[in-house]
Amino acid sequence: MPLTPRFASRLSDIEPFRVVEVLTRATELEQQGRDIVHLGAGEPDFTTADPIVQAGRQALADGRTHYSQAGGIPQLREALSRWYQSEYGLVIDPGRIMVTPGASGALLLLSALLLNPGESMLLPDPGYPCNRHFMRLVEGRGDLVAVSAESGFQLDSDLVGLHWSEGTVGALVASPANPTGGVLNREQLRGLSEAVRERSGYLIVDEIYHGLGFGVETPSVLDIDQDAYVINSFSKYFGMTGWRLGWLVAPAAAVPELEKLAQNLFISMSTMAQYAALAAFAPETREILDQRRDIFAQRRDFLLSELLKLGFEVPQCPDGAFYIYANIKRFANDSQQFCLDMLEQHGIAITPGADFGRNRASDYVRFSYTTGMDRIEEAVARMTRVLA
């Protein structure tokens, strides 16, 4: 008799990552011969910059195919420390930097480090959907706090005060944020740091979209609070999503515990990817990456102004990342259906608000401008035909 499958109860609390589902359906339609404009993906359309690819090839040729240290190869931790010095004027001991399998690996490590079963962290809603699932995995909880345009779709000290309860151990925010592209300024970061510190909690700031700020300062929380935990990645500005490499910066006292977790969970990151990433900081690579950032800025300017002309509302200025979080209430009252119609009938893949939480999710969609300008123009032309 076949065994009846039986899975742990936590699975019923872990929702699918809808961006991936949109992508899967879009691919199916393409296989049927449809032309789809992709405005759904949360990754740069550019392939990894050539100097990094060359360094990756060299790493393979040099036999860098074995396990490496659980906290990352020392050269990369040192390179990241120099990055904090050159980009932010911050002195960060390489020993406080741990290389991780993407920001995802860092989120998992910090959830395991900081949450006891039943304890929770405050998270803005809308926000990056996987955060609460990492917390659920370690039997903790992400407490979604509805945020609105008034606080820049971010947590602030008032919201922290209002929602902090017995069992809350910290707050996790992202700047620039997914899905809004909103950036926290120094004052906002200081307010959050003080609010969390007053309650003896932990502040985690996901800085994965740093490097992709358009004409605004994107301060690191480490400039304000050296006890904060920072998550970052080679995925976005550095354009290395598929290499699965990120990092975190932690207070020195936490590092041995994090290393213990990393040894058990991952043994090591991809060794060749780490050697490839050493080339990410070279001036010739930075030139390519900065050009790409400028291209994102041009796309943002164009798409934002066209969406506003069409009648979308964009309450949060998308100052960074590669997203625009747009209110669709002028056209529909169910963003999931709106996205489905856009994909199935008009060949435009965008992401429904429901992917980022529950707070007014049916009013919003996320546009990712991670495709060429000609394709963005095509999407605007198609939307103009149906919406204008």
Ligand X SMILES: Cc1ncc(COP(=O)(O)O)c(C=O)c1O
Tell me which residues touch ligand X (CB under 6 A).
42, 102-104, 128, 174, 178, 206, 208, 233, 235, 241, 246
Compare residues 323 and 338 and give the one whose CB is closer to ligand X. Answer: 323
Shortest Å, Cβ 179 to ligand X: 8
Angle at 210 between CA 206 and CA 215, to 5 degrees: 135
Backbone angles phi, psi at 312, to 5 degrees: -70, 150
Shortest Å, Cβ 388 to ligand X: 31
Tell me if residue 99 falls in helix, strand or coil: strand
Tell me if residue 123 falls in helix, strand or coil: strand
Compare residues 275 and 323 and give the one whose CB is closer to ligand X. Answer: 323
CB neighbour burial string for 245-260, b if at least 16 within 10 angstroms, e if fewer: bbbbbbeeebbeebbe
Long-range pairs for 14-20 at CB < 8 Å and ≥24 separation?
A: 14/133, 14/136, 14/137, 15/129, 15/133, 17/129, 17/130, 17/355, 18/129, 18/351, 18/352, 18/354, 18/355, 19/351, 19/355
Compare residues 210 and 380 and give the one whose CB is closer to ligand X. Answer: 210
Compare residues 94 and 181 and give the one whose CB is closer to ligand X. Answer: 181
Shortest Å, Cβ 212 to ligand X: 11
Backbone conformation region of residue 134, classed left if phi is above 0, alpha if psi is from -120 to 50, else beta = alpha
Shortest Å, Cβ 143 to ligand X: 18
Shortest Å, Cβ 343 to ligand X: 20
Compare residues 235 and 270 and give the one whose CB is closer to ligand X. Answer: 235
CA trace torsion 27, 32, 36, 38 (10° rounding): 0
Compare residues 347 and 367 and give the one whose CB is closer to ligand X. Answer: 367
Compare residues 128 and 281 and give the one whose CB is closer to ligand X. Answer: 128
Shortest Å, Cβ 142 to ligand X: 13
35/31 Cα distance (integer angstroms): 9
Side-chain-side CA neighbours of 292 within 13 Å: the count stands at 24
Shortest Å, Cβ 385 to ligand X: 31
Q: Where are the beta strands (DSSP E) in the chain?
A: 37-38, 97-100, 120-125, 141-146, 168-174, 202-206, 229-233, 246-249, 323-327, 348-349, 351-352, 364-368
26, 36 contact by CB (below 8 A)? yes
Backbone angles phi, psi at 146, to 5 degrees: -65, 125
CA-CA-CA-CA torsion sign (260, 265, 270, 274): negative
Shortest Å, Cβ 206 to ligand X: 5
Position closest to ligand X via CB: 102
Shortest Å, Cβ 260 to ligand X: 21
Shortest Å, Cβ 381 to ligand X: 28
Compare residues 280 and 383 and give the one whose CB is closer to ligand X. Answer: 280
Compare residues 247 and 380 and give the one whose CB is closer to ligand X. Answer: 247
CB atoms within 10 A of CB 345: 10
- In the numeric block, which tokens belong to residue 68? 């490496």
Compare residues 68 and 100 and give the one whose CB is closer to ligand X. Answer: 100
